[in-house]
C-alpha cells in the first residue's frame, strides 16, 4: 500500500498553496498550476501531503492510497479530502 499525491485539474485554480506546503513534491508551472512528483510518498511525507491537501482552497490536491488490484482495475481512493 502506498500513498501518492494527485491533483484534480478541473477544480485547481492555481492558488499555489500546495507548492508552499509540499515543496519536496510540488513545483508550479509558468501559469501557477502544480507539477507533481507522483511517485509513492515516503512515510514521513504523507502527513505533510495531507496538510497541503487540507490547505488547498478548492480541495483540488488529493492524497490517494493505492490498494491491491480488485475487480476490473486498480482502485484508488482519496484518503481524506478535507
Partner 1 sequence: MNPPSTTMSEAPTTITTPAARTPGPLLPRLLAGIHAHGPMSLPEHLELHGALPAGARGRRRHAREHGAMLLDEIERSGLLGRGGAAFPTATKMRAVAASRGRAIVVANGAEGEPASLKDRTLMEMLPHMIIDGGLMAAEAVGADELIVCVCESAGAGVESMESAVAERTHGGGPAVKLHLATVPGHYVAGQESALVNYLGGGPSKPTFTPPLPFEQGLRRRPTLIDNVETLAHLALIARHGAPWFRELGTPAQPGSALVTLSGPVAHPGVYEIEHGASLSSLIDAGGGTTARVRAALVGGYAGSWIGAEHLKGVALSKEHLAPHGASLGAGVVLLLSEHACPVAETARVARWMSDQSAGQCGPCVHGLDALATTVAEVAGGAPGARASERIERLASLTSRRGACGHPDGAVNLILSSLETFAGEFADHARHGPCDACSRAPELPLPDRLLDDDARGGAR
Interface with partner 1 by CB under 8 A: which residues?
8-14, 29-33, 35, 71-73, 75-76
Question: How far apart are alpha carbons 82 and 42 in whole angstroms?
Answer: 21
Least spacing, CB of residue 76 vs partner 1, in Å: 6
Beta carbon of residue 16, minimum distance to partner 1 (angstroms, whole number): 11
- Spatial separation of the C-alpha atoms in residues 17 and 60, rounded to whole Å: 11
Q: What is the C-alpha separation between 60 and 74, in angstroms, rounded? A: 21
Q: In the complex, what is the shortest distance from the CB of residue 42 to partner 1, in angstroms, rounded to a whole number?
A: 24
Q: Which is nearer to partner 1, 32 or 47 (CB)?
A: 32
Beta partners for residue 80, in sequence order: 63
Amino acid at each position: 500500500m502506498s500513498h501518492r499525491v494527485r491533483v484534480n485539474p478541473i477544480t485547481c485554480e492555481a492558488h499555489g498553496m500546495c507548492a508552499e506546503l509540499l515543496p519536496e513534491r510540488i513545483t508550479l508551472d509558468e501559469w501557477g498550476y502544480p507539477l507533481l512528483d507522483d511517485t509513492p510518498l515516503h512515510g514521513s511525507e504523507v502527513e505533510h501531503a495531507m496538510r497541503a491537501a487540507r490547505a488547498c482552497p478548492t480541495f483540488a490536491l488529493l492524497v490517494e492510497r493505492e490498494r491491491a488490484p480488485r475487480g476490473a482495475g486498480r482502485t484508488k481512493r482519496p484518503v481524506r479530502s478535507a
